[in-house]
Amino acid sequence: MRLFIAIAPPPEALDELDALTAPLRAARDDLRWTSREAWHVTLAFLGEVHESALPGLLPRLERAARLHHDFCLAIAGAGAFPTERKANVLWGGLSGDRRSLANLAASVTAGASRAGATPPDKGRRFEPHLTLARCRLPADVSGIVAALASYQGPAWHADRIHLVCSQLPGTAGPDRAEAAGPGRPGPRPRYTTVAWWPLCGQEPAAETAEVRRTG
């Protein structure tokens, strides 16, 4: 299972971002734009994790969630990795309580590591973002970054974390997700929530008691 831990922005925040980026997507078909359903804030990417590790991983993540109160975020601005003029990834940024966001990311990373699912990029600086587009060949996205520089989306409360499984339909494995060339969207990964947990101060819903396994 290819897993990551993330925060999901609410529909109203995604609706506004979707409308804002629609003309940009139409103008730059050389980029592989991600779908609205894929927009999330990754706290920790775990990579391939065997299903047998879940009994140890799930309680660790629940414990990490309980250490933190909910906090306020907003989608704001944009940037690119590694640079705007030679980008492989175009992203939307985050404003708000970024310190609490970073602390939460550190907690889930530590919990996953104790469960034997250490993130492959553990130790790398945490850069919170939503991936908007990818491109195999370096692309100049400085114009898009400039167009989104002043954007400040609606504020929302991050109140839960999700453990998500990423799988590419119709392939032998999720690592083939980037098979398409520039300008070709190719098959998109399917994201399935394995489980989610409220942050401290939030009442747990009935679903949190049920771990949903992917097939």
Residue 68 in contact with residue 110, Cβ under 8 Å?
A: no
Q: For the whole model, what pTM was predicted? A: 0.85
CA dihedral of 64, 106, 32, 3, whole degrees rounded to 10:
-40
82 DSSP β-pair partners: 87
Specify the number of domains making up the chain. Answer: 1
Residue 148 is part of which domain span? 2-209
Q: What type of residue is 200?
A: C
Residue 115 in contact with residue 57, Cβ under 8 Å?
A: yes
What's the pLDDT score for residue 211?
A: 45
| Residue 58: Cβ-neighbour burial (10 angstroms; 0-12, 13-18, 19+) | middle
Phi, psi of 211 (to 5 degrees): -85, 120
The domain spanning residue 82 has which CATH number? 3.90.1140.10
Would you say residue 215 lies in a domain?
A: no
* pLDDT tens, residue by residue, 149-185: 999 999 999 999 999 999 876 644 434 434 344 444 5
CA dihedral of 67, 69, 75, 80, whole degrees rounded to 10:
-20
Would you say residue 193 lies in a domain?
A: yes
Would you say residue 137 lies in a domain?
A: yes
Question: What percent of the chain clears pLDDT 70, i.e. is strictly above it?
Answer: 84
Question: Would the pLDDT of 207 be above 60?
Answer: no
Would you say residue 62 lies in a domain?
A: yes
Would you say residue 51 lies in a domain?
A: yes
Average pLDDT for the chain: 88
Would you say residue 192 lies in a domain?
A: yes
